[in-house]
Structure 1
Amino acid sequence: MNKNFSKIKILVTGSNGQLGQCLRKIAHNYSALELHFYNSTDLDITNKDAICQVFKDNSYDFVINCAAYTNVEQAEKEPEKAFHINADGVKNLAEACKKQNSTLIHISTDYVFDGKKDSLYTEEDIPNPINEYGKSKLAGEQFIQEILDSFFIIRTSWLYSEFGHNFFKTILKKSETETELTITTSEKGTPTNANDLAKFILDLILIDNQKYGIYHFSNLGEATWYDFAEEILSVLGKLDTIMLKKTDNYPTSAKRPKYSVLSKEKVKKVFHISQNNWTNSVRMLLKSS
């Protein structure tokens, strides 16, 4: 019997990003899944013809969309580009998924919220983004909901990993040369290990649960960026050699939500998953790196 006969075929877009690389890293643990990885050079999601060609060559059960414009600061200067990728590109994927009867798993963000709440954001809260990045990501979510019935929109927050450009890697690099770091305390959210998110996504596919819709997934707990940096330096044993300073006024081009901690009750209730506290995930990544 052909072992590949019943494999679930999955297209992963944006595979060179940190989440895409985390998915690639663990794919071998999922023998029932056949993942096809496409980076932005292989597949530009803003190009309808390119998407059609990829679907013409293969029939996919799921599409995991990791392709995104993620530079929050730069999006203020070039919003058209952010919307082209995060909204128009997502619309293209959704339309292709509808034609091919594929389920779309799309990664969104806590930045669809304005941060004015002082309690956990649930999936029922009304989005109100305050920067161009958040607006472009919300537009992508809306296209998916207009076009598809079979979709999972997964909002996550403060994503980091050993891959790509992120706060975790920035602090690691600075800890090698700097003796003083000034980190903002003005925002509160949840650092989320992209490896944990990657595992959740592949587990979600295996579960074959068709309770489609919007879900929040992040690690547990909450922190400021200062707390995040402090935890990294603490695990590294460098808090004695690097002076860590707090600031509540760190100038940025983009407005950012002051509070964007996501409620994980829905995802826990529907999928019965266990989640790591953010501090545990930081420690596990540092120990495995």
Structure 2
Amino acid sequence: MSLPASELLATARQAAGHQHWPSGALYVVATPIGNLADFTLRAIHALALADAVACEDTRVSAGLLRHLGLDKPLLAVHEHNEREAAERVLERLARGERVAYVSDAGTPAISDPGAWLVARVRAAGHAVHALPGASAVVTALSAAGDGPLPGQTGSFVFAGFLPAKGRDRSARLRALADEPRSVVLFEAPHRIEALADELAQACGDRTLTLCRELTKQFEQVHTLVAAQAPAWLAEEASRRRGEFVVVLHAQAQPVVTDDAVPEAARRQLQVLMRELPLKQAVALAVELCGLPRNLLYDEALRLKGD
């Protein structure tokens, strides 16, 4: 951000100050995942209005607030103290204060702490307002281009960080290898080579997108077949530095190119239609067969007319 802090705060106030900002409420604020220019004006104004800022790491958040020209009381709320710290937040809310919550980077309560705090605040009867912003998960999916292509639904699974080692990690990897939807993983630089090796063995023919240092100066996004990932990382030391978001692309589903319904699907549809209304039979057949609804609906109408 090139504006001086005073001008930035004034711009944020002009953009968002007319909105309603209730007191006695928790404001869950997304912060940039690397590039400070991704801070929204609404988020900046929320931090400026806050009576206190609850945060994952007070050192990180103190630096962020200094960049904005703000000085606020900081409350440490991290994975090791979130339940106890929530009570301190509730005390402030009960006094009618506005409290903002930020994690170190990105949208809180996704992979970072915050979910328990939000649930506790809601249970106590206080309002929670979420301010959208940067998310490494969504950014990586956009960069990977793994959307609803033919034969895909566009849905995805967010797996976050896998267990560091042992049976839990192996079991989780096996499950993800069988997952037909897109899978988004986080990984630290010292474990990215191990993850690449494991994905190459478990699902070598699936497409993989490696996102390194998203939104930062040396951002790198590379798509390849999972079996090729270990060799690609080994080619240059710089490719193994920084924080990673890994997208395991959805498994390609068979695409029906003509109007023919496979005989097995037709028999299944006939059995379902004996017991269920037509629409319900078609809906269940779609789930079981994975064929397009329109194709099975037309076939059901033909079978009903026979």
Bigger RCO (CA 8 Å, 6+ sep)? 1
Structure showing the higher helix proportion among its residues: 2
Taking structure 1 as the reference length, what is the TM-score of the superposition? 0.33
The TM-score with structure 2 as length reference comes to 0.32
Larger Rg: 2
